[in-house]
Amino acid sequence: MAVTELRRKKVDFTDLHMVAYDAIFVRDRETGIRSDKDLVGKTIIVIAGDIAHDVLKARSDIKGVITTHSVYEAMGRLSSGEGDAFVCSQIVGLMAIEAAGYVHVRMAESPIMSSYKREFAFAVRKGDTELLGLLNEGLKAVQASGEYNRIYNKWFSSMDPRAR
């Protein structure tokens, strides 16, 4: 789960297990959107409840926000001509393009939006220190053994240039 201050009020988080960044996805012939700055005056597709949804809704320079329920719905709507761009986790977006074969959608030229950093951790019920401790111990063991890197590289290396 992505760690946010609002979520910290409701749950406790383990140590981080992943850091990811958002990316902008556009139709294959789009040349005017390369970075976060190019979203000004545009209509952006987001996934409801996603961090990008909250961030982009708060921006006064965005023309509009189209809310969807999944990465596949968002990619499909972008591919069919709705909105100007779609913002989501770089890895999630690239996996969706690969899995569903969206041939008319690509990641914008700027590889990541560093201002849209996401830290991921496991969430546990507030106050459940026993489970929190067990999960943190497990994370440390998996990382120390090298197994974390093997798993990460198996599933994400083709989509995360930092993993190569």
Residue-wise pLDDT tens digits, 5-14: 889 999 999 9
Total domains present in the chain: 1
Residue-wise pLDDT tens digits, 48-82: 988 888 888 888 999 999 999 999 999 999 999 99
Q: What CATH number is associated with residue 91?
A: 3.40.190.10
Give the pLDDT score at 52. Answer: 85
Residue-wise pLDDT tens digits, 28-48: 999 899 888 899 999 999 999
Domain interval for residue 105: 5-163
**Average pLDDT value for the chain:** 90
- Read out DSSP for the chain? -B--HHHHTTEEE-S--EEEEEEEEEETT--S--SGGGGTT-EEEEETTSHHHHHHHH-TT-SEEEEESSHHHHHHHHHTT-SSEEEEEHHHHHHHHHHHT-TTEEE-SS--EEEEEEEE--EEETT-HHHHHHHHHHHHHHHHHTHHHHHHHHHHTTT-GGG-
